Amino acid sequence: MEKYASLERQNRHIFSHVILGLWSLIVLFPLWVMIINSFKDRLSIYQNPFGLPQKWNIANYGIVLADGDFLGYFKNSFIVVILSLVILLITGALAGYALAYWRGKFSRAVYFFCIAGMMLPIKIASIRLLELVKTLGLLNTVWALIPIYVAMGIPIAIFVLTEFIRAVPYELTEAAIIDGTGRLGTFLWIIVPLLRPALATVAIYNLVPFWNDLWFPLIFISDDRAKTVLLGVTRLFGQYQTDWSKVLAVLTLSAIPVIALYLTASKQFIKGLTAGAVKG
């Protein structure tokens, strides 16, 4: 029986590895096409879009960096994404901490009101948001995007962090309070170290939508100095033809920071899980 059970587990593992391998190919194929075509000239892309370039043309990267202000676009995107994530994580953690330990009559109602934002796309309020941004004097600045992105990420942040904090044994916070630690001290010294995996999850979940957003920069920003990377890419689209090799070169460069930040957050996520398991 043990032999058959072992074979059954092995077959399940093989099946799961095959599925994961196929899924990895599906995910990596667009990246492969984007990267190899960024090293081709414009005509070669149409002749052989999926094969390796006959002559590697690295001049595309030099042209887009020299002719356009793409370094400025990258800087704007970095500012927006990093500040949005920092504010989102701080706000979401504080809100999650409050909602997790609030035993009031309306606590559940407030919690469900906060996470209801996951069901309502923020883009439906674009006109009102444009009026609000204009009233605040933030139009044509990168600062207009930060509160929008924080609002986009708050529902999922509150959902993940509140449920994670509720799973923390109450005896830990109770012992800290008995020792004379205040609410803020309990949050900083007890809850936050345990929150690292959940914070990494929230950061990873919101990283790509913030970085790849084109909708709100297109609405709020027309000043060339305040454009983000994807909004800057639209400058390369012509009315009658587009040099896709340069477009793909910019998109390849824009993918590098996202992948790097993703891998960094993934490592922190694993370290946080390991630390929590050992401490627990």
Q: Which of 26-30, 170-174, 204-208, 239-243 has the lowest mean pLDDT?
A: 239-243
Domain ranges of the chain: 68-279
Q: How far is CA 185 from CA 87, 108, 182, 192, 230, in A?
A: 20, 25, 5, 10, 41
CA angle in degrees (0–180, nearest 5) for 73-75-79 = 120
User: What pLDDT does 43 receive?
Assistant: 78
In this structure, what token pair is assigned to residue 127?
């006109």
Mean pLDDT of 139-155: 93
How confident is residue 154, by pLDDT bands cut at 50, 70 and 90?
A: very high
pLDDT tens track for 1-28:
555 556 556 666 788 888 888 988 898 8
What DSSP assignment string belongs to 190-249? IIHHHTHHHHHHHHHHHHHHHHT--HHHHHH---GGG--HHHHHGGGB-SS-B-HHHHHH
User: What pLDDT does 5 receive?
Assistant: 54
pLDDT tens track for 100-110:
888 777 888 88
Q: How far apart are CA 249 and CA 158, in angstroms?
A: 37
User: What pLDDT does 240 receive?
Assistant: 57
Q: Is the pLDDT of residue 87 over 90?
A: yes
Q: What is the CA radius of gyration of the chain?
A: 24
Mean pLDDT of 112-126: 86
Task: Give the homologous superfamily in CATH for domain 68-279.
Answer: MetI-like (1.10.3720.10)
Q: Is the pLDDT of residue 270 over 50?
A: yes
